[in-house]
Amino acid sequence: MKSKIILFIITVFQLQTNAQFLEDEKNKDITIKGLDFLYNQQFDEANEVLNSVKIAYPQHPVKFLLNAIELQWENVPIDKNPEVLKKYISELNKCILASKSIYNIPKYKKEAAFFLLAAHGFIALSKNYQKEYFDAASEAKKAHNFFNEGKKYKNENPEFLFASGLYNFYRVQYPESHPMVKPIIMFFEDGNKKLGLQELENSFKKSIFSRTEAALYLININIKYESNFKKSLAYSNILNNKYPNNYIFKIKHIESLLLNNEYEEAVKLNEQLKSRKDKVSQLSNLVFEAYADEHIGKNLQSAFINYAKALKIPHDDRYTKEYHGMAYLGMARIFVKQKEIAKARAFYKECLKIAEYEWVVNSAKTELKKIS
């Protein structure tokens, strides 16, 4: 028992002596450099740089959060790899435990709140993509007290703007998209979608650690829920230029270009996806090529073939689910032009079963009414 107490004291002391990561400008700069390598999919370089931070903070939650982020980007899509996903969740839980160890120490409360928000948020997101919606809501509920704590700091430390922005936006949006979780969500503090978007935009402008993640969320939110394609393109252009090796960022940029009728640049970038062997790239490439064929060259036969090929590739909920929705919508439009109304009606209905993009859903509903 005595040895366990001594070990506990040593562990807490280690945590306290290097707990102020968010105030450590040197190691924050090193972390940013490492994350830039990671986002650009230069994994060896990222690992080498980030290891120095992990050595400097051996028991700190930042070590475990970085481990999780590395696992996520090295294994896209991580949700399709059960073994790696298990390690990912394990690292996030270690981050939570390390954060809780210092949370009740006033000097380190701010530090701990940041990492608790991040870790619980990433777990909730993972559960969402595994369609474990109640678990996702439960994780969000665990983070709620830390969200309230973080609100106190968002004006003095912009890193808290990211979590606050996500909470404010998705507190309203999530139960709208997943009505089944309303009984759980109703006990949470109200959100504000407009404020959430403002906070995410300020996180992109002012934060360091959360800047890239904020930009990626702004791309997805503006395409999926806001149908603000110009704004999505502004952020996708920044990420694609800064991280040209990141094919996920490139995919989002091509999508944004197409939705803004910037076809020439979209087609050129889409050619770069053809050589990739992963299913995310292959499915995306086919849908983008079909969309371009349909809207530029009016080559309906080629568009139809590529949409059909895309639907044969299993989609990933995190990255390509909505592209199946776009494929069903495109094929339905083509059937309408070919006067095959029964088939068009069936494909619009299939689109509505899977699509969550509001512009896709609204298009399918409007067109379906016209032919019903």
**Number of helices (H), then strands (E), in the chain:** 19, 0
pLDDT value, residue 11: 38
Same domain, 211 and 346: no
CATH number assigned to the domain comprising residue 43: 1.25.40
The count of domains in the chain is 2
Residues 218 and 330 in one domain: no
Residues 274 and 222 occupy one common structural domain: no
Cβ neighbours for 119, distance < 8 A, ≥ 6 positions apart: 61, 64, 65, 68, 92, 93, 95, 96, 99
Contact 251, 257 (CB under 8 A): no
Q: What is the average per-residue pLDDT within 284-305?
A: 94
Q: Is residue 322 part of a domain?
A: yes
Domain boundary among 181, 203, 228: 228
Domain residues for 140?
Answer: 2-228
Residue 14 pLDDT? 41
Do 123 and 49 lie in a common domain? yes
Q: For residue range 11-45, what is the model confidence (pLDDT) as tens digits? A: 333 444 455 787 888 998 999 999 999 999 999 99
Run of H or E including 198: helix 193-206
Whether residue 2 is predicted with pLDDT greater than 60 in this model: the reply is: no
CA 184 from chain center: how many Å? Answer: 23
Ranking 7-11, 23-27, 320-324, 333-337 by mean pLDDT, the lowest is 7-11
Q: What is the pLDDT of residues 346-363, one digit of tens each?
A: 999 999 999 999 999 999
Joined together, the tokens standing for residue 80 give: 């399709």
Residue of higher predicted confidence among 130 and 364: 364
Do 223 and 274 have their domain in common? no
Last residue of a domain, one of 168, 203, 228: 228
